[in-house]
Chains A and B, each alone.
Chain A
Amino acid sequence: MLGYREEEESLLEFISRMLGKESSSKNIAKERLRLVLVHDRSDISPQMLNSLKEDLIKVISNYMDIDESALEVNLSQEDREVALVANIPVIRMRRDYASKDKVQL
């Protein structure tokens, strides 16, 4: 007979889960969603990435001179990890850093 049946899991499924053969599919779904949404959400607002870039420049400039025009900030995904990857060319270290009492943000 055709037609679906969604009742309890069968004894076989239960045993295979107890033997640790597969994690529940709900957790797989959640993990995949988490990864895909990191990208989707970042696509919605390039402004966010831009203001992040500006903040990065502000902070790093306290320590070193950087080439702002060549600065790159992107999200990259490798297998199961999402990473924020920044490529920041350094022109020179700031000599006056040591003389400062406190870094001004």
Chain B
Amino acid sequence: MGDVIVVTSGKGGVGKTTTSANIGTGLAAAGHNVVLVDTDIGLRNLDVVMGLENRIVYDIVDVTSGNCRLRQALIKDKRYENLYLLPAAQTKDKTAVNPEQMKALALELKNEFDYAIIDCPAGIEQGFRNAIAGADRAIVVTTPEVSAVRDADRIIGLLEAADLKNPRLIINRIRPAMVKRGDMMDISDIMDILAIDLIGVVPDDESIVISTNRGEPAVSDNSSHAGEAYRRITRRIQGEEVPLMNLEAPDGFMDKVKKFFGMR
């Protein structure tokens, strides 16, 4: 039986889709059979992040409503033949699927794959309820901003109320130089507030924009800083213990001045 992992956040734009794409690709690179499921019906995006937008024939609503079989809707990845995408429908809305159908779908996916990564839509309404319905575990993505952390806190409460215990946290878009000068909450600040276990920290990195432009997740790019962070997260998902990346900003001119005066 495979593992169904939902990637969620509450707030939009914190990197759920990018995270789903990278985790899924990373797990496939490690040799697992993986399916990525886009549940953001009406606003599908995982297809473009994966660079698979031209190959869509059927979508998740076709599967849950019995229009086609699961196999017909799955799109094989460009690079990894053990990685598939089940795209969201673009012309319908979130009420086109219900939690019961999602549970049945998750069960079917678990029989065929080692991992199913569910990309959850923003919000706490039916799209969210659908996305978490069949999940075994949850990953909450946040960024070091007041609004994103607040929404993550709300989502954690809802996940636990839905019996998805011990969600794991990814802190995305950390900017080490800002943390260093006290203008961005750091890992321990956010962990104190949210009080759940961390599964990874991803630095803010231009390579994510570039890899999204190309439709090739950064996790396969060995020179990408964020890609390295996702490689480590992928290993942790498989149960390995991996140290956090060193995100210390190098000393700049002002740090040297401060050190000289004994101020740090």
* Cβ of A29 under 8 Å from chain B: yes
Interface size class of chain B, counting residues whose CB lies under 8 Å from the partner chain: 20 to 34
A9 touches B189 (CB 8 A): no
Is there contact, CB below 8 Å, between A9 and B157? no
Q: How far is the CB of A71 from chain B (nearest CB, A)?
A: 26
In angstroms, Cα B253 to Cα A7, docked, is 10
Evaluate contact between B150 and A40: CB separation under 8 angstroms: yes
Question: B177's closest neighbor in chain A, by CB?
Answer: A6
> Per-residue CB proximity of A23-52 to B under 8 Å, as 1/0?
011110110111011001100100000000
Is B252 engaged at the interface, CB distance under 8 Å to the other chain?
yes
Q: B255 contacts which of A8, A25, A34, A37 (Cβ < 8 Å)?
A: A8
Contact status B177-A8, CB under 8 Å: yes
Question: A2 an interface residue at 8 Å Cβ cutoff?
Answer: no
Residue in contact with B193 in the complex, picked from A11, A13, A27, A30, CB distance below 8 Å: A30
A contacts with B: majority SS: helix
Q: Which one of B145, B177, B183 has the highest number of Cβ atoms from chain A below 10 Å of its Cβ?
A: B183
Interface extent on A, as a size class? 20 to 34
**Which residue of A has the minimal Cβ distance to B251?**
A8
Check B252 against A7 for contact (C-beta < 8 Å): yes
- Whether the pair A24, B150 counts as a contact (CB closer than 8 A) is no
A37 lies within 8 A of B193 (CB)? yes
Contact partners of A29 in chain B: CB under 8 A? 145-146, 185
Contact assessment for A33 and B177 in the assembled complex, using a CB-CB cutoff below 8 Å: no
B146 touching A44 by the CB < 8 A rule?
no
Interchain CB contact under 8 A, B150 and A6: no
- Across the interface, do B178 and A6 meet the contact criterion of CB distance under 8 Å? yes
Interfacial chain B residues near A30, Cβ < 8 Å: 185, 189, 193
Q: Is the CB of A14 closer than 8 A to any CB of chain B?
A: yes
Chain B minimum-CB-distance residue to A24: B182
Q: Is B139 an interface residue (CB 8 A)?
A: no
B205 at the A/B interface (Cβ < 8 Å)?
A: no
The answer for the CA separation of A24 and B178 in the assembled complex, in Å, is 11
Nearest CB of A to B155, in Å:
11
Chain A contacts of B186 at CB under 8 A? 26
A14 near B254: Cβ-Cβ < 8 Å: yes
Q: Is the CB of A9 within 8 A of B254?
A: yes
By a CB distance below 8 angstroms, the chain A residues around B189 are: 26, 30
Q: Is B71 an interface residue (CB 8 A)?
A: no
Q: Which of B157, B182, B254 contacts A11 (CB 8 A)?
A: B254
Which chain A residues border B3 with CB–CB below 8 Å? Answer: none
Residue ID in chain B nearest A5 by CB atoms: B177
- Name which residue of chain B comes closest to A37, CB basis: B153
Judge if B175 is at the interface, Cβ distance under 8 Å: yes
Since A25-B184, A37-B150 are in contact, a sample of 19 more A-B pairs with Cβ atoms closer than 8 Å, ordered by chain A residue number, is: A8-B255, A9-B181, A14-B254, A24-B181, A26-B179, A26-B182, A26-B183, A26-B185, A27-B182, A30-B185, A30-B189, A32-B146, A36-B146, A37-B153, A41-B153, A41-B157, A44-B154, A44-B157, A44-B158
Residues of chain A whose beta carbon lies under 8 Å from any beta carbon of chain B: 6-11, 13-14, 24-27, 29-30, 32-34, 36-37, 40-41, 44
Q: Name B residues whose Cβ lies closer than 8 Å to a Cβ of A.
A: 145-146, 149-150, 153-154, 157-158, 161, 175, 177-179, 181-186, 189, 193, 252-255, 257-258
